[in-house]
Amino acid sequence: MRVALMRMTGRWVALVGAVAAVLAITSLLVVPRVAGQQGQTIVIDVAFDQPNIHRLAEAPAGAWPARGEVSSGGGKIFDGDLEATEQIGEFYFIGVGTSAPEYFETAANHLFEVARFELWGQGSIDVMGTVTFRGTSHLSITGGTGAFAMARGECTEEMVASRRGRFTCYIER
């Protein structure tokens, strides 16, 4: 009986020790990232240069890539204000069309895109997601450099003027 009780006690001690170790490791990994660090919201406007579209065939898509076609390009970054004229960075993107031309007016998912926003003197923000040309697009922040190293979060994009989009990015580090 005494031997059985000692085995049972030893198992409980081992179990409690394992749970304590997991909690300690979790607190070391998770708490410093959350405690004391607030999320940061950045609002930037981007002015698109003429994108390049690599056509698979002659399509009625006009300025937008059809399903399977690749679009790439870039442009200038400004503060999130339509009156802003001082350039604060550059951006680059490449995307693949995901919608057939007949659905362009209603397509919720039109372009799968990977982009990099280079903010001069601060670092870069890398984003990836699906862009729609109607409504709001949601892109995931997948990383960055400089002040944005190891960044995670989400950006939303809305077209605010002809050839000008506004990205509102909530960044967690």
Average pLDDT over every residue of 159-163? 71
CB pairs under 8 A, 24+ apart, for 36-42? 37/172, 37/173, 39/153, 39/170, 39/171, 39/172, 40/170, 40/171, 40/172, 40/173, 41/168, 41/169, 41/170, 41/171, 42/125, 42/167, 42/168, 42/169, 42/171
**Same domain, yes or no, for 47 and 126?**
yes
**Same domain, yes or no, for 80 and 163?**
yes
**Same domain, yes or no, for 23 and 100?**
no
**Same domain, yes or no, for 71 and 134?**
yes
**Same domain, yes or no, for 31 and 56?**
no
25-42 pLDDT, tens digit per residue, is 434 343 334 444 568 888
**Same domain, yes or no, for 24 and 71?**
no
7-30 pLDDT, tens digit per residue, is 555 555 454 444 444 444 434 343
- Which residues are CB-contacts of 166 (< 8 A; sequence separation ≥ 6)? 43, 44, 45, 46, 80, 157, 158, 159, 160
124-139 pLDDT, tens digit per residue, is 999 999 887 777 888 9
pLDDT recorded at residue 119: 93
- Domain ranges, residue 6: 1-36
pTM over 0.85: no
| CATH number reported for the structural domain that contains residue 87 in this entry | 2.40.480.10
pLDDT at 161 over 60: yes
Asked if residue 80 lies in contact with residue 166, where contact means CB atoms within 8 angstroms, the answer is: yes
Local structure of 77: helix, strand or coil: strand
pLDDT recorded at residue 125: 94
Count up the domains in the chain and report the number. Answer: 2
**Same domain, yes or no, for 92 and 20?**
no
**Same domain, yes or no, for 102 and 26?**
no
**Same domain, yes or no, for 118 and 133?**
yes
pLDDT at 140 over 60: yes
**Same domain, yes or no, for 14 and 92?**
no
